Chains A and B, each alone.
Chain A
């Protein structure tokens, strides 16, 4: 049965993609290469993974208040994630997405897990859709339907 977990939409859009679950928080400034979408923080367990086009699920952003600038570049270089899902409420990703919108770049969904413990439930899920208050496991190829 497909896994579904409730989320709170912080930026209310919908998107689908391969799910990338980070086991630790990520600093978008310094931890993510905006040009390639690759996680370049060598201390990070998912070092080397690409966020591009993915449903990026992480406990929380980390580090500098300058992180929205780095994420904005990533989004505008088309190397950013398709959606961002956080276990905590944090303005970093929202600020980057709203700033992108101000320069006529399409907004991606940003959501918060209603129950942070659902991070564990998402282990092993390959593809997901985020939107309308839900994160839903989907089959690859369904993304075009969203």
Chain B
């Protein structure tokens, strides 16, 4: 079985601890850190890890209100003066915490209460699912403990950093101690590709479309959901945003946490693909993957949702250029989610006002598919994100449609599904 962190023979005694780990356990760093270290040892033993290793950055999932027990857990740590030992950021929350936001005040207050407990422990209050857009992004070989699935697959695949999909509370205990059990994708052996996906049959021009990445990602998740796939057959270097969308989609429809791409991603050159079980990705397979999200041109659409994962500055600029160039007046809401960091960068370029003036609602801290973060759309939603299309349907109970940015803007102008772009598979 691939990617199973548990070795065949398990022995709790095999977890060896450093002097620092033992000092933490014995209370040298305070009672909160002792508890956090006991937690790490418990998880490390269960996972069959041989040791704990240093992490240089943590990204935590719990930055929203989930109930009284969670609040009690966090309050107890704050009361014991727990502080994170490494730079730590927070994932997108259930509400936008800014005063001028469409989130209900009760949701904002509940989320703010939890976020304040995390910031009291020294976490940075950037609420984003795209921590790799913040300064000091991890580099090749960096060990991080990130919880958000799109961030994990991006860090592993595109940056060559190392992270497992770190579960809640394990992420916080890693931040408090700067340590994590060495298991899963921290180990060289678990990063080796287990299957090969040959993309050479796809027309060369298809890599110009971000949607190609979204569809390949969806396909990968469905067909290689628990594997480490290695892709090949791309004659150019796809942009970072395409690779990001590919990973986010693969981590949604499947559990892909790492993919390699020959000639594209930083670790791919280490591996041979000759003897791996392989598949040739065809245009037909991608057309089939796109089918549930195609819709019927002319059908009514109730909203456009962009920015899942949080839009990059490049994507925001591109959107602004399109809006300015076409002078579209939307008849239905356009929601765009991003980080405060990217929003502020856009503001410095005086482009956020251009978007607002054209009726685009730029939202930070949250995602538009979280129940009440935006007013619930009552009909089909068109998005450029396969992740949104995949989760939005279940979360909000609406039909989700996929399109290029050009499709989204033309549809916004008419309120009816319009295929204005030249993407070949929709």
Chain A residues near B (Cβ < 8 Å): 8, 10-11, 34, 64-70, 72-73, 75-77, 88-89, 91-92, 94-96, 98-100, 102-103, 105, 110, 112
Contacts and interface: CB of A to CB of B under 8 A. Distances in A.
Given A95-B43, A95-B170, A73 B72 contact: no
Contacts of B76: 102-103
B122 interface: no
B392 to A, nearest CB: 14
Interface stretch (B61-69, B263-271, B283-291, B332-340): B61-69
A91 B167 contact: yes
Interface string B29-72: 00000010011001100111000000000000110001111101
A105 B68 CA distance: 13
B39 A102 contact: yes
B72 A68 contact: no
A92 B70 CA distance: 15
Contacts of A72: 67, 69-70, 73, 169
A68 B8 CA distance: 26
A28 B186 CA distance: 26
Contacts of A76: 67-69, 72
Contacts of A68: 167-170
Contacts of A94: 42-43, 46
B177 interface: no
A112 to B, nearest CB: 7
Interface SS majority for chain A = helix
A52 B359 CA distance: 49
17 contacts: A10-B46, A11-B46, A65-B148, A65-B165, A66-B66, A68-B167, A72-B70, A72-B73, A73-B66, A73-B70, A75-B69, A76-B68, A76-B72, A89-B48, A95-B39, A95-B169, A100-B69
A63 B67 CA distance: 19
Given A64-B61, A95-B168, A99-B169, A69 B43 contact: no
Contacts of B10: 8
A76 B68 CA distance: 9
B233 interface: no
A142 B68 CA distance: 34
Nearest to B7: A89
Contacts of A96: 169
B411 interface: no
Interface in B65-99: 66-70, 72-73, 76
B15 to A, nearest CB: 13
A140 to B, nearest CB: 30
Given A68-B169, A76-B67, 10 more contacts: A10-B46, A65-B171, A67-B167, A73-B68, A73-B69, A89-B4, A89-B5, A91-B170, A95-B169, A99-B73
A106 to B, nearest CB: 13
A65 B64 CA distance: 13
A100 B70 CA distance: 9
Nearest to B63: A66
A89 B47 contact: yes
A138 B165 CA distance: 37
